[in-house]
Amino acid sequence: MRRALEYMYRSGTFVADHVSPTTDEQVQPNGVDLTVDIVFEQRDPGRITTDGKEIGDRVARPLEQREQKAPDTYYLPEGSYVVRYGERIRIPEEHVGFVYPRSSLMRNSCMLNTAVWDAGYEGRGEGLLQVHHDVELERGARIAQLVFAAADHQDVYDGSYQGENLVGGDDGV
């Protein structure tokens, strides 16, 4: 059995080797904090069928520029938003990635929903931010933590979201 499979979850230092950019502050004992880059509102319905999918049109929320607010702050009233993370992520072979909300989101009546990130995925992922009470999020604030678990797999990810939100790929804006 290879070393990667000796532990269920990998160290934050290991995860940091597959996330960029990162700061020392983002590296946690068991993962790496992900930051807010852009917050989107979905304007049009999406469609998921047995043979495909369409993502509904989105619009980026404006950053607040009021005197009493810090620049580069999103003011989010109650509702659902899609958050793009600021970091490029690469899930290594023999691993699966999970993203969990930081507790400060929950303490501010917000929740972050995410999906499994398969071995081989590379991109700047997104999460569904549910805001149950108005909140302000500064661009670059840490809102989630990415962890890696050792995992067996037959193939690596090669789906339609491969390379999402990377320069030259689907940048979503």
CA distance 92 to 123: 12
Would you say residue 45 lies in a domain?
Answer: yes
Q: What is the pLDDT of residue 154?
A: 87
pLDDT per residue as tens digits for the range 78-95: 999 999 999 999 999 999
Would you say residue 83 lies in a domain?
Answer: yes
Q: What is the pLDDT of residue 88?
A: 97
Q: What is the pLDDT of residue 160?
A: 85
Q: What is the pLDDT of residue 17?
A: 97
Phi, psi angle pair for 5, to nearest 5°: -95, 0
CATH code at position 70: 2.70.40.10
Would you say residue 167 lies in a domain?
Answer: no
Q: What is the pLDDT of residue 173?
A: 36
Task: Give the residue numbers spanning the domain of 111.
Answer: 3-150
CA distance 76 to 90: 29
Would you say residue 101 lies in a domain?
Answer: yes
Q: What is the pLDDT of residue 169?
A: 44
Contact 87, 124 (CB under 8 A): yes
Contact 82, 127 (CB under 8 A): yes
Would you say residue 166 lies in a domain?
Answer: no
Would you say residue 163 lies in a domain?
Answer: no
**Beta bridge partners of residue 112, listed in sequence order:** 129
Would you say residue 88 lies in a domain?
Answer: yes
Q: What is the pLDDT of residue 7?
A: 65
CA distance 13 to 10: 8
Residue ranges of the chain with per-residue pLDDT less than 70: 1-7, 65-71, 168-173
Q: What is the pLDDT of residue 116?
A: 93
Domain count, the chain: 1
Q: What is the pLDDT of residue 6?
A: 61
Would you say residue 113 lies in a domain?
Answer: yes
Place of tokens 């804006």: 173
